[in-house]
């Protein structure tokens, strides 16, 4: 007997968070999310998302066994900013059973329709500011930090229910053995040219992190505002993210561009913490996970470039090239084996061509789907 129930209790929430661990227990590429982080993300009063928007979690059962999960998400800030009536689905995981998937999505669509949504989009875990996209190419390795992962059969599950491609997101790979110092040599020339225009590139100042983060939020919300599906982060949302990132950020990998003291762009890369999380059972830091986290962090040999943006009026001046060239040199100095730049919209011609020019290879592809309600 198959059924779908809304998540209403703490015990059900725990089961919702833990379900992927059982589903992927034999998959060597699976990386568990930190339990405490997922719990806070999904609990009203803990994460700032819940101050302006709502969601409903669902669990699918076959008998007493959980066989699927999904979240129906109504992001009011997204709809207000984009003047749309979109609904989202996220946190989707399911056994290879079309009936179970259809039952889960039936609940999502009914809930969103009742809230006035005209379209369902996903997978998106709140917005494009968080984890989003379904992996459709590149199943032969683990995801990098803050990137999703799923079984290949998910593609068929979604498309059989009438969900269609909205847009693809690309992840590019830089391998150490293919290192080319041309971008770095070029970036040094461009940096001198920029300095003549009073534009400097510097690392983030962690001693003044709170003020730096406030300026970064302004840049983020203005530099990315034309991206598909973008929604500005509220001050509380950005502070929440910045607080988490401070635990892993390396100033050498967080670069800021300033013009006469005013911040005009930044790039951010973070160590691939997933290399450690893979070894933390069920995402629990206690009792022993915290020691693994501390001991293994020094062995991380890859980074993910998660954000790079310059405000309008300062683009195509070479600032982006200096960000990439400088960061690549730092990867080399720190003996990193691999760097990933992700994600890039497939229709962002300038960014995609720039990465290809630096010998980066597109090695993973993620897809966001949509369906009219």
Domain ranges across the chain? 2-167, 174-367
Work out the number of other CB atoms within 10 angstroms of the CB of residue 72: 29
Classify domain 2-167 at the CATH class level.
alpha beta
Packing angle between helix 349-357 and helix 319-333, nearest 10 degrees?
40
In 3-state terms, what secondary structure has residue 104? helix
Give the integer Cα–Cα distance in Å for 300 and 246.
17
Hey, do 2-167 and 174-367 end up sharing a CATH topology, with the first three levels equal?
A: yes
Give the integer Cα–Cα distance in Å for 34 and 214.
26
Q: Where are the alpha helices (DSSP H) in 153-306?
A: 154-160, 182-195, 209-223, 235-246, 274-277, 289-296
Give the DSSP H or E segment for 74: strand 65-74
pLDDT in tens, the chain (373 residues): 999 999 999 999 999 999 999 999 999 999 999 898 899 999 999 999 999 999 999 999 999 999 999 999 999 999 998 899 999 999 999 999 999 999 999 999 999 999 999 999 999 998 888 889 999 999 999 999 999 999 999 999 999 999 999 999 999 998 877 766 777 788 888 888 888 899 999 999 988 888 888 888 888 887 766 666 678 888 898 888 888 888 788 888 899 999 998 999 999 998 999 998 888 888 877 666 666 666 667 788 999 998 888 888 888 888 988 888 888 888 888 888 999 999 899 998 888 988 888 788 999 999 999 999 9
**Is residue 303 within 8 Å of residue 147, measured between CB atoms?**
no
CATH code of the region 174-367: 3.40.630.30
Give the integer Cα–Cα distance in Å for 213 and 57.
32
- What residue ranges in 248-372 does DSSP mark as E strands? 254-259, 262-271, 302-310, 338-345, 361-372
């Amino acid at each position: 007997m198959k059924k779908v129930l809304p998540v209403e209790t703490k015990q059900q929430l725990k089961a919702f968070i833990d379900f992927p661990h059982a589903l992927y227990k034999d998959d060597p590429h699976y990386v568990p999310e930190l339990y405490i982080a997922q719990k806070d993300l999904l609990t009203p009063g803990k994460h700032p998302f819940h101050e302006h928007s709502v969601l409903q979690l669902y669990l699918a059962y076959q008998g007493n066994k959980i066989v699927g999960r999904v979240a129906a998400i109504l992001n009011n800030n997204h709809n207000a900013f984009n003047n749309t009536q979109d609904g989202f689905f996220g946190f989707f995981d399911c056994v290879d059973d079309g009936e179970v998937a259809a039952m889960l999505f039936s609940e999502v669509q009914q809930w969103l329709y009742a809230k006035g949504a005209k379209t369902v989009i996903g997978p998106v875990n709140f917005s494009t500011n968080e984890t989003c996209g379904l992996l459709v190419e590149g199943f032969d390795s683990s995801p990098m930090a803050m990137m999703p992962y799923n079984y290949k059969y998910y593609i068929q599950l979604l498309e059989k229910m009438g969900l269609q491609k909205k847009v693809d997101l690309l992840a590019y790979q830089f391998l150490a053995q293919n290192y080319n110092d041309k971008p770095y040599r070029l970036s040094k020339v461009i940096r001198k040219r920029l300095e003549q225009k009073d534009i400097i590139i510097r690392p983030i100042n962690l001693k003044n992190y709170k003020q730096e983060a406030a300026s970064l939020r302004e840049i983020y919300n203005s530099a990315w505002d034309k991206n598909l599906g973008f929604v500005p982060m509220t001050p509380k949302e950005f502070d929440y993210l910045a607080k988490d990132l401070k635990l892993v950020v390396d100033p050498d990998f967080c670069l800021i561009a300033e013009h006469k003291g005013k911040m005009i762009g930044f790039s951010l890369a973070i160590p691939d913490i997933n290399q450690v999380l893979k070894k933390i059972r069920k995402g629990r830091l206690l009792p022993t996970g915290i020691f693994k986290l501390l001991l293994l962090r020094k062995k991380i040999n890859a980074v993910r470039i998660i954000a790079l943006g310059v405000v309008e009026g300062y683009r195509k001046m070479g600032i982006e090239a200096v960000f990439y060239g400088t960061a690549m040199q730092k990867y080399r100095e720190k003996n990193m084996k691999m760097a990933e730049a992700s994600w890039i919209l497939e229709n962002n011609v300038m960014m995609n061509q720039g990465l290809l020019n630096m010998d980066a290879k597109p090695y993973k592809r993620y897809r966001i789907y949509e369906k009219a309600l």
